[in-house]
Structure 1
Amino acid sequence: MTAVESTEFRVLVLAPIGRDASASVDLLRKGGLAAEACDDLARLAVGLKSGAGAVLVAEEALFKADLTAIESWVAQQAAWSDLPFVILTSHLDHPVIKAWRQGLAGKLQNISMLERPIQPITLTSALQAALRARHRQYEVRSLLEAREQAARELERLVAARTRQWQEANVELKRQIEERENLEASLRQSQKMEAVGQLTGGLAHDFNNMLTGIGGSLDLMKRRLSEGRTQGLDRYISAAQAAVKRAGVLTHRLLAFSRRQTLEPKVTNVNRLVAEMEELIRRTVGPSIDLEVAGAAGLWNTLVDPNQLENALLNLCLNARDAMPAGGRLSIETENTSLDGTAARERDLAPGNYVLLRVTDSGVGMLPDIAAHVFEPFFTTKPLGEGTGLGLSMIYGFARQSGGQISIHTEVGKGTTMCLYLPRSRDEPEVDSADETGKAIEAAGEGKVVLLIDDEATIRMLAAELLEDAGYSVVEAWDGPSGLRVLQSSTRIDLLVTDVGLPGGMNGRQVADAARSLRPDLKILFITGYAENAVVGNGQLEKGMHILAKPFDMDLLAQKVQDMLTSVSAPTPPPA
């Protein structure tokens, strides 16, 4: 037994009269108990601090004594501790003594009173019982200490595991970043490969078109120098046809790169498909059985309807080419809701979509072929029968519209193209009365157009065209000069501006300044390349339209007429 254990199991004895203390200590020791006499209350208080299993005290040592130190020790015991006090009382039964004894229980808490004279065996047994109770308290203390130790060990393990998790999290983030960097490098590599394909295909197609334009102009120049005008229409038509093909190619390239400016409208896809059904039926030919199944209650979607028509027609043409011997072509629509998992699988945001599905019973494709169908200039058609831009154009259109296109194909069974377009809760606009039959030549009476373009040739041609149509035209060659006109008192009914302008202000900035000066001013952008940042997410604000270069002059005149006849009130100059 250690020194601490020996003090914890000892009996402290306080009996101040005669040899009562020494006699009691001898008696207890003979009974196998450790006992130690205390001369006074102060020594008892010191002994309690050193440790004790029980206290044996004569009541005369406590009566009318200052018990502050003893009471303080008792009150400050640990939660597990309740030290037993055995009080030796006398036979005195005075009310004052009885009241004092009752109060003593409140001060020392765990007391037992034995009235003297008392048999030695009775005293020894009482203190043995007290020590057994104290031993159980020590066992509780050991359990509490073990629990505290376990809690500390658990905290240490938790802290260690937390550090491990933090280190693992840091490592995981590092691996994720490394993977993202590798994926970005792979995407860049694939993009550079696509750029290589674009460069080769673009150079080939544009060289052919430029040859057609240049050759036609050369022959026209030669014929005119010889005074021969017969047959010039043929060369003019050839040059115009080449220009139109170049424009189509440019638009497809812009769609692929998702930089094509869209004019989205709330569109009912069922109605659009129904309006195109006859055209598609004639286009695919009698050998193909066309089936159209529009879902009842189909949601609306916000898309550019012209681009959607082009996409649908392109898909049907591809399906026709996949069925050279004829077959079945189906066009279906349906409402679909994508949760998180389904949306991630399609690289879309969760939500509601309109699904346009085009399915053919053609030859199908191998997986390694299907994986490349949305890449530019990738085609399985023979040389000269396809540019490889159709599906890439549709992909760009779908992504720019907030949707997606996916392919499901199997060799010998056919192919399904699924075009997802986000749901719109708005209703389609009612078409206004058709006024295209009005004579363009008489449309410009009293209307003023501000024309801004840094290309002198385009500015000259457009101004002469609009003046021939009866408009008054104010010309500017850059943004600042156009802004000065807008800041003046000059009447302006329509602003026609290029997007890419010199002078530190692009066309969109001029348009924003114009709207701040003349809030109701209508604006027509004419451009061959519209930056998303300029046009605003690839979509135009209300009252703004765009005409992509190259364009027919008649189309420019018609667009100007349509915009100016929709609202007749002129835009007032700034105050």
Structure 2
Amino acid sequence: MTGQENELRVLVVAPTGRDGLLISNPLDSNGISSFPSATAEMALVEFEAGAGALILAEEALTLPAISLWAARIAEQPSWSDFPLILLAAGGEINEESRRRMRVREPLGNLVLLERPVRPETFVSTLQAALRSRGRQYQMRDYIARNHAAEEALRRSEKLAVAGRLAASISHEINNPLASVTNLLYLIGTSSSLQEAKKHKEIAEKELARISEIVTQTLRFYREPSKPTLVFITEIVDSALILYQSKLAYAEIAIERDFRECSPIVAMAGELRQVILNLIGNALDASNPGGRLRIRVSNTREHRNGARPGVRLTVADSGSGISPEIRKTLFEPFVGTKGDTGTGLGLWISSEIVNRHSGTIQVKSSTLSQSPGTVFSVFLPLEQKAGHRSLREASMTPDGNRKDTLSDSPPEIAFPMQREMAT
């Protein structure tokens, strides 16, 4: 039988007398597939190949068997609640029966049937257990489909990011190349050596600019696949280089406010994607002649036990985000760019921040006297208690609470004294 065919078979452990036969006969007559095992330990081996329920005679439920099954039950995925049916001897409730009940508690979804059991009661109980197990499998498949869809969306957004970067990089490289072409022509038509040298020096600067753009681009695509020590300020600088031409064309002023900033253990490529997305969104929202302020500093997130970390704040002087959109801004397919955006960037960014045990927040104002939007990302030096830290992951190779502060827009987007209090 294949794994899928095994999913609704019933494992039977009835080692004494004719119990096994008496159990299997009514199952077979009702079209229920069963598989006998001599011990509860042997049934556990079969459980790994797939099962819909377990029927277990009480005399086979030894303490070692309870320990093994309880450990396996505790490892079930969130969608699973494997049903066990225990055939127990009848009798009055006393201290001994209560003790046995306490010992069986780790088995989880346990149904107790007293023997002798009427065949109709036995079969209907098992059919109810199998229907429940079938619904669990439906939930498993639903979760798997959702996971596959989310992965497809993530890949789609990564392709969109790559496309936007390719277009931006092409534009950034094309301008200095055009300058170099013109300078080479001027060198060839120069009337003096001094004039030719002057053109040559300008051409060398333009080529150095191209080299820097290429270096930053290669850094983006050659990020290590494991967590490493990274400086947020370095990632911000490399991202701004890729947007240099767009910033100059729109005459947007950049204000860097880089304070004392500790390195964090993180996936540099993922953080680069977050920062590129936040800066790109800020540029798209800004009007010509606007301002973009980026602040990076050490801080503590006091509402989560004063966790030490690094906070990145990106503020623009654009038109702001409406409260209706702000409420669902970190959900898939929600955006402010209409048909020009995928609506996935901030969702992906929040997922990345969550995997780093951080938080991402937004404040925005659409008031004409003080419009603007502020995004704040907090990344802890260590992950929250109870989560495996990225620092550990970096040593042993082998993920956000999203807060939308829509009710308290910044008083003014610039300067940013209080736009993102911890």
TM range (shorter): 0.3 to 0.5
